[in-house]
Amino acid sequence: MNMIASIFLTFMKIGAFGFGGGLAMLPLIEQEIVHNKGWITLKELVDIIAIVEMTPGPIAVNSATFVGYKVGGFIGALAGSLGIVIVSFILMTILAKYFMKVKNMSQIKAIFRGIRPTIIALMLSAVISVGKTAITDFKDVAIAVIIFIALVKFKLNPILGIVLSGVLGLIMYGGLL
Protein backbone atom coordinates (compact mmCIF):
# COMPACT_ATOMS: atom_id res chain seq x y z
CA MET A 1 0.00 0.00 0.00
CA ASN A 2 1.37 3.41 -0.83
CA MET A 3 2.16 5.92 1.91
CA ILE A 4 -0.69 8.35 1.14
CA ALA A 5 -3.29 5.56 1.32
CA SER A 6 -1.69 4.32 4.53
CA ILE A 7 -1.86 7.81 6.07
CA PHE A 8 -5.52 8.16 5.06
CA LEU A 9 -6.55 4.72 6.33
CA THR A 10 -4.61 5.04 9.58
CA PHE A 11 -6.18 8.38 10.43
CA MET A 12 -9.58 7.14 9.29
CA LYS A 13 -9.22 4.30 11.81
CA ILE A 14 -8.26 6.78 14.53
CA GLY A 15 -11.18 9.02 13.59
CA ALA A 16 -13.61 6.10 13.59
CA PHE A 17 -12.70 4.95 17.08
CA GLY A 18 -11.62 8.23 18.64
CA PHE A 19 -14.66 8.96 20.76
CA GLY A 20 -14.40 12.05 22.89
CA GLY A 21 -12.38 14.08 20.42
CA GLY A 22 -9.03 15.80 20.81
CA LEU A 23 -7.33 14.78 24.03
CA ALA A 24 -9.31 11.56 24.30
CA MET A 25 -7.94 10.55 20.88
CA LEU A 26 -4.30 10.97 21.90
CA PRO A 27 -3.88 7.39 23.17
CA LEU A 28 -5.16 6.11 19.81
CA ILE A 29 -2.89 8.49 17.91
CA GLU A 30 0.06 7.43 20.05
CA GLN A 31 -0.65 3.72 19.60
CA GLU A 32 -1.13 3.90 15.83
CA ILE A 33 1.38 6.56 14.81
CA VAL A 34 4.19 6.03 17.32
CA HIS A 35 4.01 2.35 18.25
CA ASN A 36 2.33 0.59 15.31
CA LYS A 37 3.55 2.67 12.34
CA GLY A 38 6.69 4.20 13.82
CA TRP A 39 6.14 7.36 11.79
CA ILE A 40 7.16 9.59 14.70
CA THR A 41 8.68 9.16 18.15
CA LEU A 42 6.83 9.79 21.40
CA LYS A 43 8.94 12.92 21.89
CA GLU A 44 7.89 14.16 18.46
CA LEU A 45 4.24 13.49 19.39
CA VAL A 46 4.67 15.58 22.54
CA ASP A 47 6.17 18.39 20.43
CA ILE A 48 3.32 18.10 17.93
CA ILE A 49 0.77 18.31 20.75
CA ALA A 50 2.49 21.46 22.04
CA ILE A 51 2.35 23.00 18.57
CA VAL A 52 -1.26 22.05 17.82
CA GLU A 53 -2.37 23.34 21.23
CA MET A 54 -1.09 26.76 20.12
CA THR A 55 -2.92 26.71 16.79
CA PRO A 56 -6.63 27.13 16.16
CA GLY A 57 -8.69 24.08 15.33
CA PRO A 58 -9.28 20.61 16.68
CA ILE A 59 -6.30 18.83 18.24
CA ALA A 60 -6.89 15.57 16.36
CA VAL A 61 -7.24 17.25 12.96
CA ASN A 62 -4.20 19.43 13.49
CA SER A 63 -2.21 16.40 14.68
CA ALA A 64 -3.29 14.40 11.62
CA THR A 65 -2.33 17.29 9.36
CA PHE A 66 1.08 17.68 11.02
CA VAL A 67 1.93 13.97 11.01
CA GLY A 68 0.56 13.54 7.49
CA TYR A 69 2.78 16.37 6.29
CA LYS A 70 5.85 14.97 8.05
CA VAL A 71 5.34 11.53 6.55
CA GLY A 72 3.83 12.34 3.15
CA GLY A 73 4.25 16.04 2.42
CA PHE A 74 1.35 18.25 1.40
CA ILE A 75 -0.72 15.36 -0.01
CA GLY A 76 -0.02 13.39 3.19
CA ALA A 77 -1.34 16.33 5.23
CA LEU A 78 -4.54 16.33 3.16
CA ALA A 79 -4.86 12.55 3.50
CA GLY A 80 -4.40 12.66 7.27
CA SER A 81 -6.85 15.53 7.70
CA LEU A 82 -9.51 13.96 5.49
CA GLY A 83 -8.99 10.52 7.02
CA ILE A 84 -9.50 11.67 10.59
CA VAL A 85 -12.75 13.56 9.85
CA ILE A 86 -14.47 11.43 7.20
CA VAL A 87 -16.08 8.86 9.53
CA SER A 88 -17.22 11.56 11.98
CA PHE A 89 -18.62 13.61 9.13
CA ILE A 90 -20.64 10.69 7.77
CA LEU A 91 -21.84 9.58 11.22
CA MET A 92 -22.79 13.09 12.33
CA THR A 93 -24.67 13.71 9.10
CA ILE A 94 -26.70 10.55 9.70
CA LEU A 95 -27.09 11.11 13.45
CA ALA A 96 -28.19 14.72 13.01
CA LYS A 97 -31.21 13.46 11.15
CA TYR A 98 -32.29 11.06 13.91
CA PHE A 99 -30.74 12.19 17.20
CA MET A 100 -33.36 14.77 18.11
CA LYS A 101 -35.99 12.04 17.87
CA VAL A 102 -34.17 9.62 20.19
CA LYS A 103 -32.12 11.85 22.52
CA ASN A 104 -34.58 11.49 25.40
CA MET A 105 -34.79 7.70 25.24
CA SER A 106 -33.52 6.11 28.44
CA GLN A 107 -31.27 3.72 26.48
CA ILE A 108 -29.57 6.61 24.65
CA LYS A 109 -29.07 8.50 27.92
CA ALA A 110 -27.61 5.33 29.48
CA ILE A 111 -25.19 4.88 26.57
CA PHE A 112 -23.91 8.45 26.92
CA ARG A 113 -23.69 8.12 30.69
CA GLY A 114 -21.50 5.04 30.20
CA ILE A 115 -19.28 6.73 27.63
CA ARG A 116 -18.49 9.86 29.71
CA PRO A 117 -16.22 8.16 32.29
CA THR A 118 -14.36 6.40 29.50
CA ILE A 119 -13.60 9.73 27.86
CA ILE A 120 -12.02 10.90 31.13
CA ALA A 121 -10.04 7.63 31.36
CA LEU A 122 -8.76 8.14 27.80
CA MET A 123 -7.68 11.68 28.59
CA LEU A 124 -5.92 10.57 31.79
CA SER A 125 -4.18 7.83 29.82
CA ALA A 126 -2.92 10.44 27.36
CA VAL A 127 -1.78 12.72 30.19
CA ILE A 128 0.21 9.92 31.81
CA SER A 129 1.72 8.66 28.56
CA VAL A 130 2.69 12.10 27.26
CA GLY A 131 3.70 13.25 30.74
CA LYS A 132 6.35 10.54 30.99
CA THR A 133 8.07 12.06 27.98
CA ALA A 134 7.28 15.75 28.51
CA ILE A 135 7.99 16.02 32.24
CA THR A 136 11.53 14.87 32.85
CA ASP A 137 12.90 17.11 35.58
CA PHE A 138 11.94 19.41 38.46
CA LYS A 139 11.65 22.47 36.20
CA ASP A 140 9.11 20.64 34.01
CA VAL A 141 7.12 19.69 37.12
CA ALA A 142 7.23 23.30 38.33
CA ILE A 143 5.93 24.65 35.02
CA ALA A 144 3.17 22.02 34.90
CA VAL A 145 2.06 22.72 38.48
CA ILE A 146 2.11 26.51 38.02
CA ILE A 147 0.06 26.33 34.83
CA PHE A 148 -2.33 23.76 36.29
CA ILE A 149 -3.01 25.95 39.34
CA ALA A 150 -3.41 29.04 37.14
CA LEU A 151 -5.90 27.21 34.91
CA VAL A 152 -7.95 25.57 37.67
CA LYS A 153 -7.83 28.03 40.56
CA PHE A 154 -7.56 31.32 38.71
CA LYS A 155 -9.43 30.29 35.52
CA LEU A 156 -6.54 31.43 33.34
CA ASN A 157 -7.37 31.39 29.66
CA PRO A 158 -5.67 28.29 28.12
CA ILE A 159 -4.04 30.40 25.41
CA LEU A 160 -2.48 32.61 28.08
CA GLY A 161 -1.44 29.42 29.90
CA ILE A 162 0.47 28.31 26.81
CA VAL A 163 2.09 31.74 26.46
CA LEU A 164 2.97 31.76 30.17
CA SER A 165 4.49 28.29 29.90
CA GLY A 166 6.63 29.51 27.00
CA VAL A 167 7.82 32.45 29.09
CA LEU A 168 8.55 30.13 32.03
CA GLY A 169 10.45 27.83 29.66
CA LEU A 170 12.49 30.75 28.39
CA ILE A 171 13.28 31.81 31.95
CA MET A 172 14.09 28.31 33.25
CA TYR A 173 15.76 26.78 30.19
CA GLY A 174 16.94 29.83 28.27
CA GLY A 175 19.61 30.75 30.76
CA LEU A 176 17.61 33.51 32.41
CA LEU A 177 17.40 31.62 35.71
- The predicted-structure confidence for 85-98, as pLDDT tens digits, reads as follows 999 899 889 888 88
CB 79 within 8 A of CB 7: yes
Residue 122 lies in a domain: no
Q: What is the pLDDT averaged over residues 16-21? A: 78
Residue 163 lies in a domain: no
Residue 40 lies in a domain: yes
Out of 20-24, 61-65, 93-97, the most confident range is 61-65
DSSP string covering 38-100: -SS-HHHHHHHHHHHHTSSS-HHHHHHHHHHHHHHHHHHHHHHHHHHHHHHHHHHHHHHHHHH
CB 126 within 8 A of CB 42: no
Residue 111 lies in a domain: no
Range of the domain at 26: 3-103
Distance CA 88, CA 20 (A): 11
* Position 177 pLDDT exceeds 70: no
* Position 151 pLDDT exceeds 80: yes
Closest by alpha carbon to 25, among 151, 162, 118? 118
Residue 172 lies in a domain: no
Distance CA 140, CA 156 (A): 19
Residue 99 lies in a domain: yes
Q: Choose between 28 and 9: higher pLDDT.
A: 9
Query: How high is the pLDDT of residue 32?
Result: 95
Q: pTM for the complete prediction?
A: 0.69
Residue 124 lies in a domain: no
Residue 168 lies in a domain: no
